[in-house]
Every structure is written in structure tokens, then in C-alpha cells.
Amino acid sequence: MPPVIDIHVHIAAKNEPGCKVSREMEREPAFIYMLLADRVKRSALRRDFDGTIRGHILGALNGAPSVDYGVLLALDAAYGEDGKLLEEHSHLVVSNEYVRTLAKANAKVLVGASVNPNRGPVEGRDELERCLEGDPPAALVKLLPNSQLIDVGDPRHDWFYETLAERGVPLLCHTGPENTLPVPRPVDEHQRLGDPRRLRRALDIGVTVIAAHCAMRVFPFQDDHLGDLAAMMREAERNGRWRLYADVSAMCLICRIGTVDRVLESIPGERMILGSDYPVPVSDMPPGVFKDLSLEEYLALLHLPNPIEKNLRQLLAMGFPEAIGTRAAEVISARVFA
């Protein structure tokens, strides 16, 4: 039986080399909400920020009995198109080395690397190679264009895509608007970097692309790219070349109640992959979103204490196919599990 893999789990650190959490990030409403919903005390963060976050995230992953692995995501800094580091726009930075260290110490952790292609082919290729050949090697590479200021459709990034395609390493790319990390001004312009249609170039080059969050908005006033992603899925079926998938991370949010059926209707089940986006909170979803669930079964879901386990169990109860859990094992290289 292939392993069940949550491909979208975050980590943060302030004192580890190459890591950063800005004061602006800590003041974000989304950050404050996460602490409250996940029951992480500010006093514990003041005493030991890195240890508190590490213990909380790894505790949730290790305590999820139905999930065999979690891909823990690094996050590179923001860089300008000229390759210069933009420290003032880099609000959350998680180094690849830190994630590798955690993976070495924890059998359930897979490495989700992050290399901003704006670094350019000289510096960027070196870091990308270190990730792909690291110990352990990266299971995938993550980009968050809206906050990392990446136009993923820019031909200057072909070196990046060619490397991923040649090595068979998937690209997990945030799609849709970003709501957790600060987005630099002009915000509307940079939010448009989450348009999944910009990923056509990577797909044409042969990269396996996983569109995070199914390109869904969180709030009704935001742009919604689910229809654009669904059209790309149909195009992938027609051309037979594109290896395009979507993760269903952050779907268990109260504000996404109205989007669950739209995702189920729009994205082919065989192209869905499990993700949680934890520590983005996993809400207790209301009974109306579940399919033929008895009161006893619903109450059992409500009382699940582990958020990563609850995310998976709620997704299945909402009608997402069971194969979402094992599909990542089909797209991640077997050598990652060696």
C-alpha cells in the first residue's frame, strides 16, 4: 500500500541560521488567529520561539495515525528580478538546511525545499542542486509567488524548470490569493502572481506542477481562479503532456464552506493531492458539507484532537476521494523514500 502523505505542512523559526519571522508577520491578523486557534501561547513563544513551533508542528504530524509522511516546507526569501535580496519584503524565511535537519531527526518528515528562481541561474542553480542532492533529497520544491515576488511565467526561469523536469522533482506552487504572509505593495498587482495560468510555461517544459489550494480564494471579495485551473486540467487531459495536479490544502476552513462542492465538481479526483497547510487552522466543519454522515460519525470527527488527522478525515467525509492521500507517492521520486 502506498504511503499517505500530507504534502503541505509549514514550519517557522527565528533563531536558526537563515531563518526569519518579521515583526510585521507576527502582527498579521492571520498569524494571531493561528496562534489562538492552534492554542499556541505567546508566553511559550517568548521563552523559546523555535522550540515551541517545532514541537507543535512535529507533534501534530507524529500524532496523526493515518498520515505516514508530511512534507515540511522551506520558504526562500523575496528577491528582485535583478537577483538582489529584498530583506524588507522577506517576512517569513525558512532555510532548506533547517528543514533537512528536521527530516534527518524525524522519520515522518519529507523535505519541501524552496529556491526563489529570481536568484538567477548562477546562485540559484547551486542552491537548487544542493536541495535535490541533499541528505535527504527534496521531495518537491515550493514557491509562493505572491509574497516571494516571482512571475512564474517569466522565460528567465527556464533554467529552474528544466532542472526540475530533468530530475523529476515536482513543483508545489501557491495559486490564488495569499492571506497568511504579507504581500508587498502594490498588493493587487502581486496577488495576480498567484494566477495558475502563469504555470503554463513550467508545464510545457515538462515539470510536474501541483497547484496549491486549487487556486481558490478565501474571502468572497477576492479573485477566484478555480475556473482557470479547471480549464487547465481539461487541457492537460486533451494534450496528454501536462503533469498537472492540485492540492486540497486549507480546504477545512469555515470561510471555505461554499467552495467545497465547487472544487469537487471542477477538479478531477485523480488530480487531487492531500495537503493540510497546517498550522493554518483546521476548522470543525459544519454538518452540511459532509456526505451521508451519521450523527455519531460527525461527533467523532468533532472530537478528533489531532489537526492533521482531522483535516484528512474531514476531507474524506466531505467527498474527496480516498486516493488523495496516496497520490503524492505517485509524483514524488521513489529515491526520496529510500
3-state secondary structure 48-99: HHHHHHHHHHHHHHHCCCCCCEEEEECECCCECCCCCECHHHCCEEECHHHH
Q: Mean pLDDT score of the chain, rounded to an integer?
A: 97
**Is domain 5-280+323-337 classified as CATH 3.40.50.1360?**
no
Give the torsion sign (CA, 125, 131, 135, 139). negative
Residue 145 and residue 209 in contact, taking contact as beta carbons nearer than 8 Å: no
Q: Give the confidence band of 223 by pLDDT, cuts at 50, 70, 90.
A: confident
Q: What is the per-residue pLDDT across 49-88, written as a single tens digit (0 to 9) for each?
A: 999 999 999 999 999 999 999 999 999 999 999 999 999 9
pLDDT of 297 strictly over 90: yes
Average pLDDT over residues 102-131: 97
Q: Which amino acid is at 177?
A: P
DSSP state, residue 153: T
Average pLDDT over residues 35-57: 97
- What is the rounded CA–CA span in Å between residue 133 and residue 79? 23
pLDDT of residue 15: 97
pLDDT of 160 strictly over 90: yes
Domain residue ranges in the chain: 5-280+323-337
Distance of CA 129 to the CA centre of its chain: 21
pTM exceeds 0.95, yes or no: yes
pLDDT of residue 220: 78
